[in-house]
A and B are shown apart, each in its own frame.
Chain A
């Protein structure tokens, strides 16, 4: 794994010139979607990979962000740039309050409880017609800035990179290590004098904030949202990205998101097998590469190498 150095992250930027060269609306659109899902996968990775709280309702939190941003900008007349962080905060707060009751549950019980929470949020978005216009969705959401699909892509890229940097700093800090310890053994964390409940609450707030930002980006880049985009399938897609890339590994989450967004686009000629491909890739990964494509250990080794800590890490 010595081939990985700090430039390996930069390799992820390689598709950009090709994208600028192609300069078609379709390519920009796919790339923007990929960016949004990179951010989502990174936020889910913080929750599921690093802290071990398997979430099957992440798609609904993403929906909360999208709806918060859409409502703030269409009903309250806020600009897209102001609505974006507010939507993140709203998704974080509402999501946290809804998830709060389930924080004492562990492993699969937490997963199933979050599935229930995701469905509760979805049903609410679908049925609260006065606020969300129900199945019709919200139209005419203002876009981020002027310009065409290309400009929207560069703006999304800037926001996503900034968010990824923040997530990176959270994951690869002493705090991130405490979260990893929480994932492995919550009694051990208590013995160290840290509160598992507090750690879980904090990581929920942080992770949901970035999921909300991703939702807001989705709303402001497409201009139209409907509850159907935030169903259980999306949560599974996000979880698959995290698992395929590698639980607990940020570059893994990025690769997983790119793979699972791009592959169905490349395979488009074979028809409607989008979710089928996702399921198959997820299954094959669990079976043959359970630690993911870019495992956590390699990712940590890479990051610690940047700070000159490679010697002490064997």
Chain B
């Protein structure tokens, strides 16, 4: 039986999942390396969207140029975030203190505080309402294939997510900097002993994660047409859920779980009212934490 409406819901769910996945990639990268939750990741996502919007409103360049500028904003804000919220609290460079409970909670609180400051600042500067995006930039051109309708943004986001995943895997496994990122993630003391510059690697990780967050915020903003200061919170929570389900340090795991999340939310709206569908992701988060403490795709890190 081929039910076009149901199939359309599946497509929408998968593209929603890709949106979460884009965000989860950067989130997982930072968590996997440093073992700290970056609560300000949603604000990086929001900043990327606003930076893109400002550039469009000021110069209206081609989309490609806007993307490059958004990446630049992401890189810079990643460095700033690390410098302001994470480095001052990382007082000792040994592994035990980096992974201690106290430093995790302190950085959780500091990134939470920074995220509030940034969000409130932006919403006071630009107003908390949705921003209007020039029509020609919206990625909402409908593309009809038989009984199904796609938006052009779905293809862009899918292509971007795939490219990012492949590029990131290539970077992490085949380049020198990527290898040092993985070395720091797996054993900090060992990385120190073989002469890896820990500070530089951590900054690099933040830059990468932040740039990914910023670009995904911009693309999602163009796809959904919603750019507003509080947009980062919901997406950040969903990305976090995907990261936990995926096993915390596995980027492919986070992507698969983000797709599952988007799909289950989209299918759930078939059977339950829209407002209640938000419960699905929180329910999945609790179930995962309870029954798969290492994530569904088996992270090897000790967690509970």
Contact = CB atoms under 8 A, between A and B. Distances in A.
Contacts of A282: 109, 112-113, 116
A115 B237 contact: yes
Interface stretch (A19-27, A88-96, A98-106): A98-106
Interface in A233-276: 236, 239-240, 243, 271-276
A104 B117 contact: no
Nearest to A116: B282
Contacts of B89: 286-287
A181 interface: no
A273 B106 CA distance: 24
A243 B109 contact: yes
Interface in A143-195: none
A120 interface: yes
B102 to A, nearest CB: 9
A290 B108 CA distance: 13
A69 to B, nearest CB: 24
Given A101-B286, A243-B109, A119 B278 contact: yes
A104 B293 CA distance: 10
A14 B304 CA distance: 46
A112 interface: yes
Nearest to B128: A272
B10 interface: no
A127 B244 CA distance: 26
Contact of A275 (B85, B116, B304): B116
A275 B289 contact: no
Contacts of B88: 287
Contacts of A77: none
A9 interface: no
Contacts of A236: 112, 116
Given A104-B304, A236-B116, A276-B116, A283 B110 contact: yes
| Interface footprint category on A | 35 or more
Interface residues of B, number: 39
Contact of A101 (B109, B115, B244, B290): B290
In terms of DSSP, what is the predominant structure of the interface of chain B? helix
Contact of B275 (A105, A112, A113, A126): A126
B169 to A, nearest CB: 27
A182 to B, nearest CB: 13
A54 B116 contact: no
Interface in B258-301: 273, 275-276, 278-279, 282-283, 285-286, 289-290
B251 to A, nearest CB: 19
Contacts of A275: 116, 119-120
A109 B115 CA distance: 19
Given A119-B237, A276-B120, A276-B124, A105 B289 contact: yes
Given A113-B285, A280-B113, 16 more contacts: A54-B105, A107-B104, A108-B104, A108-B105, A112-B240, A116-B282, A117-B282, A117-B286, A120-B282, A127-B273, A232-B233, A240-B113, A276-B117, A276-B124, A282-B112, A283-B110
